[in-house]
């Protein structure tokens, strides 16, 4: 018979005893015996299924040798294999991280894309000069940098004009210090 039948019957018998109703003693003893036997069987199966009695054969993911694992989630046969796999994984992660960083550095150097072009737009000229776009537009409006407006949205600057701007510009001279502070005696 099914174990559920015995447990349901046992619960029924407990309720009947609580109400002081007399039942067949033979049926009661039989059900109690079966339930006790099933409980012992489940307990014994639990012990058998524990790692003490069951040998779990696994293949080491690092060296490929067969070993007996103590747990289901064991992946390596020894601590040495585990350490070697961990270090190899870290090396791969470091290599991937370095490649990503290198790709980002290359992406962030857009000057290489247009440094040999003869014609540039304002954004490219700003990146080439190392200033913001507004500064390039101010140089164009102040007529220090020549540019051609093709449409209302496209402005083209010749590379030669940028080079001329840098050649013609006055060399940098430090500003003279001016003392705007008044002496205390005058106040």
Predicted confidence at residue 59, as pLDDT, reads 93
Average confidence (pLDDT) over 118-139 = 90
Predicted confidence at residue 88, as pLDDT, reads 96
pLDDT of 21 above 50 = no
Average confidence (pLDDT) over 119-130 = 88
Residues 139-168 pLDDT 10s: 999 998 999 999 888 999 999 998 888 887
pLDDT of 95 above 80 = yes
Handedness of CA 105, 110, 113, 114 (dihedral sign): negative
Contact call for residues 60 and 81 (beta carbons, < 8 A): yes
Predicted confidence at residue 18, as pLDDT, reads 46
């Amino acid at each position: 018979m099914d174990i559920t039948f015995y447990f349901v019957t046992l619960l029924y018998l407990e309720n009947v005893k609580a109400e002081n109703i007399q039942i067949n003693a033979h049926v009661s003893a039989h059900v109690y015996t079966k339930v006790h036997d099933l409980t012992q069987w489940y307990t014994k199966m639990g012990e058998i299924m524990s790692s003490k009695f069951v040998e779990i054969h696994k293949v080491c993911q690092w060296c490929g040798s067969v070993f007996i694992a103590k747990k289901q989630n064991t992946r390596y046969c020894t601590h040495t294999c585990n350490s070697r796999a961990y270090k190899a994984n870290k090396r791969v992660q470091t290599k991937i991280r370095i490649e990503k960083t290198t790709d980002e550095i290359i992406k962030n150097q857009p000057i290489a894309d247009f440094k040999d072009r003869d014609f540039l737009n304002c954004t490219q000229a700003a990146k080439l000069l190392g200033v913001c776009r507004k500064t390039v537009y101010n140089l164009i409006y102040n007529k220090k940098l020549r540019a051609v407006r093709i449409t209302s949205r496209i402005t083209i600057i010749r590379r030669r004009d940028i080079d001329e701007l840098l050649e013609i510009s006055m060399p940098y001279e430090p500003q003279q210090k001016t003392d705007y502070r008044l002496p205390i005696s005058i106040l």
